[in-house]
């Protein structure tokens, strides 16, 4: 265990944004991670009450030096949900503190359209880019399928997967930008290099566990049961 590694998994509606009905029903996880020695920390998917998340990290004597967006959906980075319902997120966070927002290059246009943030606010990344938070190295994996520029974070034996992969199931592919075949390639190829010992930390609490090793996830999650592309597509067609 690396004691220098700072890590918090925070459930919207329970650990922050308490009393927010949308947050409570959506069951999103935000994450804070960083280097306890340098005090640098980043927030992953800071939606609903970004100011509370900043305050929580600050109370831990850490500084928020950046944000990573796993994908553009408003329950992760803020913006307007169906109808007129607005969720606070990166735009509100940037009004409080000036930090880079790290997004996958192919997600940038979607992020701007959904949140109204400018090009200047975004730092674009490609597959396998390394992001240093103090001395903590985060590898960003491009994992399209749920959205074109979805990305997962690989850090200190953990995979923060956004809506790409849940403990049970995976992200929907029927929203704009979703691609069922890309999701198959992500699960069967792009995430292959992630070891069974790596612990999955998803973007939503959709299972009894909040986190689980990839070995257990691969053994029990039906999305890993398809043996071919044809089998996968047939599974989604039914
Ligand atoms: Fe999503």
Looking up residue 182, the CATH number of its domain turns out to be 3.60.15.10
3-state secondary structure the chain: CCCCEEEEEEEECCCECCCCHHHHHHCEEEEEEEECCCCEEEEECCCCCHHHHHHHHHHCCCEEEEEECCCCCHHHHCEECCCCCEECCHHHHHHHCCCCEEEEHHHHHHHHHHHCCCHHHEEEECCCEEEEECCEEEEEEECCCCCCCCEEEEECCEEECCCCECCCCECCCCCCCCCHHHHHHHHHHHCCCCCCCCEEECCECCCCCCCEEHHHHHHHCHHHCCCCHHHHHHHHHC
* 38 CA from centroid of ligand 1 (Å): 32
The count of other CB atoms within 10 Å of the CB of residue 49 is 23
pLDDT band at 188 (very low <50, low <70, confident <90, very high): very high
The residues, any chain, with a CB within 8 Å of residue 59's CB and separated by 6 or more, are: none
What pLDDT, on a 0 to 100 scale, did the predictor assign at position 236?
A: 80
* 61 CA from centroid of ligand 1 (Å): 31
* 128 CA from centroid of ligand 1 (Å): 21
Residue 62 has pLDDT above 90, yes or no: yes
* 202 CA from centroid of ligand 1 (Å): 11
As a whole number, mean pLDDT of residues 141-160 equals 98
What pLDDT, on a 0 to 100 scale, did the predictor assign at position 2?
A: 85
pLDDT band at 235 (very low <50, low <70, confident <90, very high): confident
* 85 CA from centroid of ligand 1 (Å): 16
Across 152-161, 179-188, 225-234, least confident range? 225-234
* 60 CA from centroid of ligand 1 (Å): 29
Protein residues placing their CB within 5 Å of the ion ligand 1 = 73, 163
* 120 CA from centroid of ligand 1 (Å): 24
* 157 CA from centroid of ligand 1 (Å): 23
* 179 CA from centroid of ligand 1 (Å): 13
- Residue range of the domain that includes 208: 5-237
What pLDDT, on a 0 to 100 scale, did the predictor assign at position 1?
A: 66
* 166 CA from centroid of ligand 1 (Å): 11
* 198 CA from centroid of ligand 1 (Å): 22
What pLDDT, on a 0 to 100 scale, did the predictor assign at position 7?
A: 98
pLDDT band at 238 (very low <50, low <70, confident <90, very high): low
* Residue of 129, 131, 216 whose CA lies nearest to 165: 216
Across 12-16, 78-82, 146-150, least confident range? 78-82
Domain count, the chain: 1
pLDDT band at 44 (very low <50, low <70, confident <90, very high): very high
* 170 CA from centroid of ligand 1 (Å): 10
pTM beyond cutoff 0.95: yes
* 137 CA from centroid of ligand 1 (Å): 25
């Amino acid at each position: 265990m690396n004691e220098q590694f700072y890590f918090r998994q925070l459930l919207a509606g329970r650990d922050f944004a308490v009393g927010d009905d949308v947050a409570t029903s959506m069951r999103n996880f935000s994450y804070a991670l960083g280097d306890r020695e340098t005090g640098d920390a980043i927030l992953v998917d800071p939606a609903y009450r970004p100011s509370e998340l900043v305050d929580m990290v600050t109370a831990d004597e850490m500084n928020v030096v950046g944000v990573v967006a796993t994908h553009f959906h408003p329950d992760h980075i803020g913006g307007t949900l169906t109808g007129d319902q607005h969720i606070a997120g990166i735009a509100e966070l940037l009004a409080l503190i000036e930090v880079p927002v790290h997004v996958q290059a192919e997600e940038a246009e979607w992020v701007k359209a959904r949140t109204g943030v400018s090009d200047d606010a975004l730092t674009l990344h490609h597959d396998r880019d390394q992001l240093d938070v103090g001395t903590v190295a985060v590898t960003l994996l491009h994992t399209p399928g749920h959205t074109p520029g979805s990305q997962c974070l690989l850090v200190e034996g953990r995979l923060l997967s956004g809506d790409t992969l849940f403990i049970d199931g995976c992200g929907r592919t029927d929203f704009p930008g979703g691609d069922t075949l890309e999701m198959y390639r992500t699960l069967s190829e792009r995430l292959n290099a992630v070891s069974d010992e790596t612990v999955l930390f998803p973007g939503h609490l959709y299972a009894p566990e909040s986190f689980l090793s990839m070995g257990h996830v691969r053994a029990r999650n039906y999305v890993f049961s398809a043996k071919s592309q044809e089998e996968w597509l047939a599974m989604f067609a039914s």
